[in-house]
Amino acid sequence: MNKENKKWCLLIRSVPFQQLDKIVPKVKEKFPEVQLAVLTHRHGVEMASKYQEVDEVIPYLETGSFDRSRLPEAVRSRSWDAVIAPVANESGSGFHNVLHCALAVPAKQHWMVNLPGEMTPIQSSKILWQTLRNGFYAFVAVLAASVLWLPWVVAFSLYPRRGE
């Protein structure tokens, strides 16, 4: 992504700006030589532009959650040195769409930064395992709910209703 042969890091803004206040200095500390770009929804462009450390703001034009298939061309067409996906907890749970989105961006390194500010590499195998595990848990929950409610549905459908 050689804009004058500089190194570039993309930060996907998936957390509130209060958390970004803590993350941006840590990113610049870990990658002091990089230019920092922020991918944010339209409503966050103005706020993201106010950070002195941010060299470019790229608007995510879609509404709703980040989706790997809807990344802007300005992100997809470039090869990044690093991509960082912030999450608002310690494990990254509940941020699978953002982690999948980060992995879809062509980059040398993919990182997750959690609420305490710890940066860890994003591993696609770990994300795949979590997705499969969560899908299995959802299937078991639906199955259990069906099994537990089925006797009640049958029992109440056999009783005559008042007035019949």
Residue 90: its pLDDT value, please?
59
Res 42 pLDDT > 70: yes
Res 133 pLDDT > 90: no
**pTM higher than 0.85:** no
Q: How far apart are the first and last CA of the chain?
A: 74
User: Both tokens of residue 57?
Assistant: 């703001």
Q: Tens digit of pLDDT for each residue in 63-122? A: 888 888 899 999 999 989 999 999 887 566 667 788 888 999 999 999 999 888 888 888
Radius of gyration of the chain (CA): 22
Task: Quote the CA–CA distance of 111 and 123 in Å, as a whole number.
Answer: 9
Nearest to 20 by CA among 2, 4, 3, 44: 44
Instruction: Map out the domains of the chain with their CATH numbers.
Output: 7-122 (3.40.50.2000)
Per-residue pLDDT, averaged over 37-64, amounts to 93
